[in-house]
């Protein structure tokens, strides 16, 4: 079990923020990443569709023999985590709870902001989890649909990024929150610009938090890979590897090799 890989999936390239943090904190683990690039974005789709796609991604990785499954996509974590946990005999970790736990640790005034895709915000997964863990917290949410294309275009800083950040975050800034959860895989790349505008507000990056949770889980289950060599990284995508490679290299800040195109439809019938 220890030698088995960790499976990570996302609607596309964004989950590489999570892969990056996991490989930093668990450098000896082999990682298998699946990006459902043919069907991205999930953030504008109905819960029913996101659940269906997420189950297909999870099944694909399960068949690859992963020891735990990380749902890097916030949209997918928001609506499909329960369905995945019910179906898989391995541990499934989403990004919502780790992000919430981290935000609860840092807030001093009990007012937390959440930004994410439309589907994530509509699902109310973050506010529900916060209320479940600490009912007296005040929550303000905002969907920021242009942030994903902005990041995918590589526009992370400068006037265009600043104007869009201001447009979406104006109300949140005035709302008195002291903590803001970056509830989408892509948003950590906009951290500098968001932080500049949300001066003095603590940003919570769920990618960092989830990697800590994965380490803790492997440790508790006694399945940390104890090999001495660095772990391998294998990438699967459902559309052409070229765009994934191009944008993925911005996310990871290094070259990406080992990208394979797969069809989840074909895999289903195997
Ligand atoms: N990965 C998605 C998320 O974290 C963002 C991209 C999409 O909409 O699919 O919510």
Answer yes or no: are the C-beta atoms of 146 and 164 closer than 8 Å.
yes
96-206 matches 6-94+208-268 in CATH topology: yes
Over residues 142-162, mean pLDDT: 94
CATH architecture of the domain formed by 96-206: 3-Layer(aba) Sandwich (3.40)
Rounded to the nearest angstrom, the distance between the alpha carbon of 49 and the centre of ligand 1 is 14
Checking if the pLDDT of 73 tops 70, the result is yes
State in Å: Cα 105 to ligand 1 middle.
25
Which residue do the tokens 């975050």 mark?
169
**Ligand 1 site-directed mutation target among 13, 40, 183, most atoms within 8 Å of CB:** 40
- Determine the Cα–Cα distance for residues 137 and 251; give it in Å rounded to an integer: 33
The 10 Å Cβ neighbour count of residue 168 is 18
- Once rounded to an integer, what is the mean pLDDT over residues 133-139? 97
Quick count: other Cβ atoms within 10 Å of Cβ 49?
14
Among all residues, which ones are annotated catalytic? 73, 184
Task: Summarize pLDDT for 7-47 with one digit per residue, the tens.
Answer: 999 999 999 999 999 999 999 999 999 999 999 999 999 99
Ordered by start, the domain boundaries in the chain are 6-94+208-268, 96-206
Distance, C-alpha 242 to centroid of its chain = 21
Q: What percent of the chain has pLDDT over 70?
A: 99
Cα(first)–Cα(last) distance of the chain, in Å?
A: 24
Q: Are 36 and 238 in contact (CB under 8 A)?
A: yes
pTM over 0.85: yes
Q: Identify the pLDDT of residue 268.
A: 66
pLDDT tens digit sequence for 75-92: 999 999 999 999 999 999
Testing ligand 1's pocket by substitution, the residue of 117, 126, 145 carrying the most ligand atoms inside 8 A of its CB is 117
Is 183 near ligand 1, meaning CB less than 6 Å away?
Answer: no
**Closest to 39 measured CA to CA, from 57, 24, 23:** 57
What's residue 24's pLDDT?
Answer: 95
- Would you state the pLDDT for residue 221? 95
pLDDT band for 209, please (50, 70, 90 cuts).
confident
| Nearest CA, atom 6, ligand 1 | 41
Q: How far is the CA of 175 from the centre of ligand 1 (A)?
A: 25
204's tokens: 């919570």
pLDDT in tens, 95-113: 999 999 999 999 999 999 9
Ligand 1 atom nearest the C-alpha of 10 is 1
Q: Give the Å distance between the CA of 148 and the centre of ligand 1.
A: 7
User: Which alpha helices (H) appear in the chain, and where do they start and end?
Assistant: 16-25, 47-63, 74-87, 96-106, 118-123, 125-133, 147-152, 159-174, 191-197, 206-220, 241-252, 264-269
Q: What is the CATH number of domain 6-94+208-268?
A: 3.40.50.1860
Q: Ligand 1 atom closest to Cα of 78? A: 10
């Amino acid at each position: 079990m220890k030698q088995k890989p960790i499976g990570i999936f996302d609607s596309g390239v964004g989950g590489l923020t999570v892969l990056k943090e996991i490989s930093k904190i668990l450098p000896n683990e082999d990682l298998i990443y699946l990006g459902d690039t043919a069907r991205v974005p999930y953030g504008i789709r109905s819960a029913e569709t996101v659940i269906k796609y997420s189950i297909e991604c999870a099944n694909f990785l399960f068949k690859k023999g992963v020891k735990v499954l990380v749902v890097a996509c916030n949209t997918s974590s928001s609506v499909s985590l329960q369905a995945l946990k019910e179906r898989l005999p391995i541990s499934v970790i989403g990004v919502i709870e780790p992000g919430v736990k981290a935000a609860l640790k840092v807030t001093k005034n009990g007012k937390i902001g959440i930004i994410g895709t439309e589907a994530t915000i509509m699902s109310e997964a973050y506010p529900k989890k916060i209320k479940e863990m600490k009912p007296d917290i005040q929550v303000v949410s905002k969907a920021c649909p242009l942030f994903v294309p902005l990041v995918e275009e590589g526009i992370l800083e400068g006037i265009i990024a600043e104007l869009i950040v201001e447009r979406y975050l104006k109300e949140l800034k005035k709302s008195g929150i002291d903590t803001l959860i970056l509830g989408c895989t892509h948003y950590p790349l906009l951290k500098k610009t968001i932080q500049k505008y949300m001066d003095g507000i603590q940003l919570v990056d769920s990618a960092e938090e989830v990697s800590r949770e994965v380490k803790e889980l492997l440790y508790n289950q006694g399945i940390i890979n104890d090999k001495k060599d660095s772990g391998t990284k294998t990438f699967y995508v459902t559309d052409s590897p070229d765009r994934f490679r191009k944008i993925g290299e911005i996310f990871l800040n290094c070259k990406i090799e080992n990208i394979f195109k797969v069809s989840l439809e074909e895999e289903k019938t195997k």
